[in-house]
Structure 1
Amino acid sequence: MTDIANAQRFLMAEARLLERRLYQVCFSNGGAEAVIDAVRAYRNPDGGFGHGLEPDKRTPDSLPIDVETAFQALAAAGAADPALLGPACDFLARVADERGAVPLAFPVIEAYPRAGHWSEWTYEPGLNPTAGLVGLLYRLGFAHPWRERAAGYCWDRLEAGALPEEVHALAETLVFLEYAPDRDRAERHAAAVLERLVASEMFHLDPAASGYGLSPLVVAPAAGSRWRRLFTAEQLDGHLDRLAADQQPDGGWPITWEPPGVAARQEWRGIVTLQALRTLRSYGRA
């Protein structure tokens, strides 16, 4: 049984302001404007976001991964704020390649503490994070010329059958397909993307798997997720049981990778704790 009171205590004691405000929006009828204010604190003059909004690298400079984290927070709060989204898309347009694709990060991260897996591979433009960013903009209902250019890149990759092997890129592609307005086209590609995702060693279809990996609850984090139907009830129930059982004595959930420091670890634990509560509640487990 999930200990909601202990999880709330953990968030209030350990999580950063953004996750505390998101908790209030998601669980206590808090106002979305408070989330917008918290996200705004991570914005740079170039319109992008940085300052460790995604906690695995501590550079203050704007990075596409931090823009994606900002979009995720705004989407969770139901807050499509044009004053944040417009300049952020302008930033993405400036750093995109000729196809409209953006990388996760830039070499500037090397001057600051960062998790060990943040290295040269994050400098290559690709579906991770381009597809996820476009999908979130569709979810937020925010149109921008960069969104249309980047969507064209995503469709070109899919139509060419150029699916990535990397598990996060495939998950990002499913975000794009979940919210893309061309539903017939999206549905045609979803099964192939999921098939490639499930075949990855870093995708844990078995809820008993240990170590870092993505699960069906990443693809379908809420009961109303479009891709919930791609998994059996038994598969989802097993992962929901595992998620509930992973709650720690302090009320929070653990992480399974090594962040760049103690503060980053606690920030991540706040993020994953809030997501665990949202998922468990959505599926009727909390």
Structure 2
Amino acid sequence: MNSGRFSVIQKYIMTEGRELEKAMWRLQFAEGSEEDFLTELARYQNDDGGFGKGLEPDIRCELSSAIASTVALQLLSQYKVSSEHTMVKKVIRYLLDTFNKEKMGWDIVPQEVEWYPRAPWWNYREQQEAWGNPNAEILGFLYEFSELVPPSLIDSLTDHALTYLQSLEQFEFHEFLCFHRLIERVPVEVAEKMEKKFIEMMNSCVTIDREKWSDYCLQPIDFVQSPASAFYDQFVDVWRENLQFRLHLQEENGSWTPMWTWGNQYEKVWEVAKKDWTSVLTLKNALLLKENNPL
């Protein structure tokens, strides 16, 4: 990342970004501390241990949800926060407390989400269309923090995940990403059982057609973060071009904006959510550039 690009991104994050992204920027690029990052992340955690309060910007629900809690766990995992940390203990306890044995998983959002502004795809549904989102991902984090989880729950969920995965005939990329986060965290013998179907999902879900990158889709650089990543060889022909495509989407103020909207509902709240997403995406792309073109 050249100094000019770095400066304009930094200016945007530090003037327009959420406090959480500011703290992560300082941790990645300046003299920031993990303590400051955790302090900002804790603002999104509720008393029940789950996360809400707009951490996932398309859900403005103050109450905890499984999906917002997975966003928090992604960050806790990214920064290698120990299972001994109170925040980790609380969110895992929230997941254990809200596990639905009949569904063998979690409601992706609570019924109370209907009380708050939200993206149309976050309406409450009693039956989820894709079990893996977020259940496969949650299982991955239960493996990561397994000392906090009853082994019998991990075993039964693993059996369910394997059976479900093998039954899939149609694939959706958000669910694929959840299985990706799972397969990164399971023991080798479990990963081997998933590998064939996972690769089938990957070939279906990752968009290599350059003409479609301007649409909302899963692009190669969103799945393969660098040439050192697993599966890079499958996308080597388009990966660098995809990275350049992402650079060309950067706004003059240094930011990247979401490629989706909420349509014509909650228009004023969408502007708030859009700004939050811009903060999230700008930091995400800055880290992508740091990984592949060090400062």
Answer whether TM exceeds 0.5 for this pair: yes
What's the counterpart of residue 101 of structure 1? 105
Matches within 5 A, 1:178-189: 178-180=184-186, 182-189=187-194
- Structure 1 residue 211: Cα displacement: 1.4
Give the secondary structure class of the aligned counterpart of 1:134. Answer: helix
- The correspondence for 2:35, drawn from 33, 36, 39, is 33
**Closer, same or farther: CA 250–137 of 1 in aligned 2, 3 Å:** farther
Matched residue count: 281
- The correspondence for 1:269, drawn from 260, 273, 278, is 278
Q: Does the alignment pair 1:281 with 2:290?
A: yes
What's the counterpart of residue 195 of structure 1? 200
- The correspondence for 2:176, drawn from 162, 170, 178, is 170
**Closer, same or farther: CA 152–112 of 1 in aligned 2, 3 Å:** same
What's the counterpart of residue 237 of structure 1? 240
**Closer, same or farther: CA 257–25 of 1 in aligned 2, 3 Å:** same
**Closer, same or farther: CA 74–123 of 1 in aligned 2, 3 Å:** farther
Q: What per-residue deviation string (whole Å, max 9, x for no partner) do you get for residues 89-117 of structure 1?
A: 11111211216412321221111000112
Question: What amino acid is aligned across from residue 190 of structure 1 in structure 2?
Answer: E
- Structure 1 residue 39: Cα displacement: 1.0
Distance 1:224 1:137 in 2: 26
**Closer, same or farther: CA 142–43 of 1 in aligned 2, 3 Å:** same
- Structure 1 residue 159: Cα displacement: 4.3
Matches within 5 A, 1:196-211: 196-200=201-205, 203-209=206-212, 210-211=214-215
Give the TM-score normalised by the residue count of structure 1: 0.88
- Structure 1 residue 41: Cα displacement: 0.8
Judge conservation of contact 2:13–2:21 (CA < 8 Å) in 1: yes
Judge conservation of contact 1:103–1:126 (CA < 8 Å) in 2: no
Distance 2:220 2:135 in 1: 21
What's the counterpart of residue 218 of structure 1? 222
**Closer, same or farther: CA 27–138 of 1 in aligned 2, 3 Å:** farther
Note the residue ranges of structure 1 that are not aligned, 5 or more in a row. Answer: none
Distance 2:65 2:105 in 1: 13
What's the counterpart of residue 128 of structure 1? 133
Question: What amino acid is aligned across from residue 140 of structure 2 in structure 1?
Answer: G
Judge conservation of contact 2:162–2:193 (CA < 8 Å) in 1: no
What's the counterpart of residue 87 of structure 1? 90
Distance 2:126 2:12 in 1: 32
Judge conservation of contact 1:48–1:62 (CA < 8 Å) in 2: yes
Question: What amino acid is aligned across from residue 275 of structure 2 in structure 1?
Answer: Q
Distance 2:123 2:158 in 1: 24
What's the counterpart of residue 251 of structure 2? 248
Q: In percent, how many aligned pairs have the same letter?
A: 23
What's the counterpart of residue 22 of structure 1? 24
Give the secondary structure class of the aligned counterpart of 2:147. Answer: coil
Task: Pick which of 148-157 and 263-272 moved more.
Answer: 148-157
Q: Which has the larger radius of gyration?
A: 2
Distance 1:137 1:103 in 2: 16
Judge conservation of contact 1:104–1:123 (CA < 8 Å) in 2: no
Give the secondary structure class of the aligned counterpart of 1:94. Answer: helix
Give RMSD over aligned pairs: 2.5
Judge conservation of contact 1:136–1:176 (CA < 8 Å) in 2: yes
Give the secondary structure class of the aligned counterpart of 2:167. Answer: coil
Q: What per-residue deviation string (whole Å, max 9, x for no partner) do you get for residues 214-258 of structure 1?
A: 1222222344433434x2322211211111221111100121111
Q: Does the alignment pair 1:112 with 2:98?
A: no
Question: What amino acid is aligned across from residue 112 of structure 2 in structure 1?
Answer: V
- Structure 1 residue 188: Cα displacement: 4.2
Q: What per-residue deviation string (whole Å, max 9, x for no partner) do you get for residues 49-84 of structure 1?
A: 111111101111000111111112222333236201
What's the counterpart of residue 265 of structure 2? none
Judge conservation of contact 1:64–1:102 (CA < 8 Å) in 2: yes
Give the TM-score normalised by the residue count of structure 2: 0.85
Question: What amino acid is aligned across from residue 179 of structure 1 in structure 2?
Answer: R
Distance 1:285 1:29 in 2: 17
Judge conservation of contact 1:25–1:31 (CA < 8 Å) in 2: yes
